[in-house]
Amino acid sequence: MSSEPHKNVFLLPQTNQLLGLYTIIRDRDTKRPDFIFYSDRIIRLLVEEGLNHLPVTPRTVETATNQIFRGVSFLGKICGVSIVRAGESMEQGLRECCRSVRIGKILIQRDEETALPKLFYEKLPDDIADRYVFLLDPMLATGGSAMMATDVLIKRGVKPERIFFLNLICSPEGIENYHSKFPNVKIVTGAIDACLDENKYLAPGLGDFGDRYYCI
């Protein structure tokens, strides 16, 4: 795992606990129930880190002991947007941290003739331009799907600095490609792999996240 390569890439602290979680989900022999359980733990950490970057305003409250506590309140509304289907695995982790959060979906698939990503479907909250957006996709490999999804959000009026791209693993190439187009979008990730292999897969990676999370 690499160190933080860019001012707008936020890498989770590389603790022994986190390394242990990644060791489990990267293991090809890990069974699906364990893969889901430990992936969900990482997703929760990513959501919490994303929330750390939301703006706040000072707020003073009175405690049950009649004392004054000077804290903060979050500013603005958020929503999650998952890149279907693998990104949907991250929706529950967001819901567990943010009650009644709105969720949007974007479906992007590879065109078999051109081998390029193609937008097939989008369903987003009407007021998404007024929200902070957590873009959800477990893997950032080449960055093609993520860039197309981000284009969709920006065309709907979302400011790049209000977008947080949450993923479990990314490649240096993907970060470079993505930030060459969207330098103001914050990437929140748990691991930066060494590279992409000759097939454009993350290395060491963990395989197809969606297949391992959803398929029996």
Interatomic CA distance for residues 131 and 81, integer angstroms: 11
Please report, as a single letter, which amino acid is at residue 123.
K
Give the ranges where 53-143 is alpha helix by DSSP (H): 91-97
Instruction: Please give the positions annotated as active site.
Output: 110, 114, 208, 211
Q: What are the tokens at 89?
A: 């695995």
Interatomic CA distance for residues 85 and 107, integer angstroms: 7
Interatomic CA distance for residues 6 and 183, integer angstroms: 9
Please report, as a single letter, which amino acid is at residue 134.
F
Q: What are the tokens at 82?
A: 């998952």
Q: Which phi and psi (to 5°) does residue 152 adopt?
A: -60, -45
Interatomic CA distance for residues 180 and 84, integer angstroms: 24
